[in-house]
């Protein structure tokens, strides 16, 4: 993997930002105030590189093999790319907290990468489906978050 943002450069930064987040929390500065934001950003960059080999999350919209809902598939077929939205199936804050937990439990870099490969998932939804999902469950981890919001994934080959 080439480029300036590789797992080799991002994992030490992730550990540094987790430490800074924990110090900010200990000083009374909460995650909702911004203590966790750098952790979330580093994790997002790391995950799109590890799981999808992308340098920017928006490039997922151009991937013919990107997992998508029926609504997103239909929008793609019509050429309505402006209706596509990228959804983190596990909400970003919740996913960041899971990563923080495994790092604090002593996970190696290889274990962090394995966790990402097994758990990080991006899908394409259309704007209507994104609104439905946000109304139903915007921030909690759920085994079937998309299904619970009535979103059906496209099963054919994109």
Q: Quick check: 1 pLDDT over 70?
A: no
Q: Measured in whole angstroms, how far is the alpha carbon of residue 103 from the centre of its chain?
A: 17
pLDDT of amino acid 10:
97
- Reduced to 3 states, what is the DSSP secondary structure of residue 145? helix
Q: Extract the runs of DSSP E, i.e. beta strands, from the chain.
A: 84-88, 122-126
What sign results for the dihedral spanned by CA atoms 9, 110, 116, 157? positive
Is pTM beyond 0.85 here?
yes
pLDDT level of residue 143 (50, 70, 90 thresholds)? confident
pLDDT of amino acid 122:
97
Cβ proximity of 123 and 153 under 8 Å? yes
């Amino acid at each position: 993997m080439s480029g300036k943002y590789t797992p080799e450069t991002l994992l030490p930064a992730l550990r540094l930002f987790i430490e800074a987040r924990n110090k900010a929390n200990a000083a009374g500065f909460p995650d909702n105030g911004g203590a966790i934001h750098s952790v979330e950003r580093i994790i997002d960059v790391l995950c799109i590189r590890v799981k999808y080999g992308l340098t920017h999350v928006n490039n997922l919209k151009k991937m013919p093999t990107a997992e998508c809902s029926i609504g997103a598939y239909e929008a793609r077929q019509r050429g309505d790319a402006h209706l596509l939205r990228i959804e983190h199936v596990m909400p970003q804050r919740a996913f960041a907290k899971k990563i923080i937990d495994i790092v604090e439990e002593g996970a190696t870099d290889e274990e962090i990468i394995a966790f990402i490969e097994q758990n990080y998932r991006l899908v394409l939804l259309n704007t209507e489906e994104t609104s439905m999902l946000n109304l139903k469950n915007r921030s909690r981890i759920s085994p079937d978050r998309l299904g619970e919001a009535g979103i059906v994934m496209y099963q054919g080959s994109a």
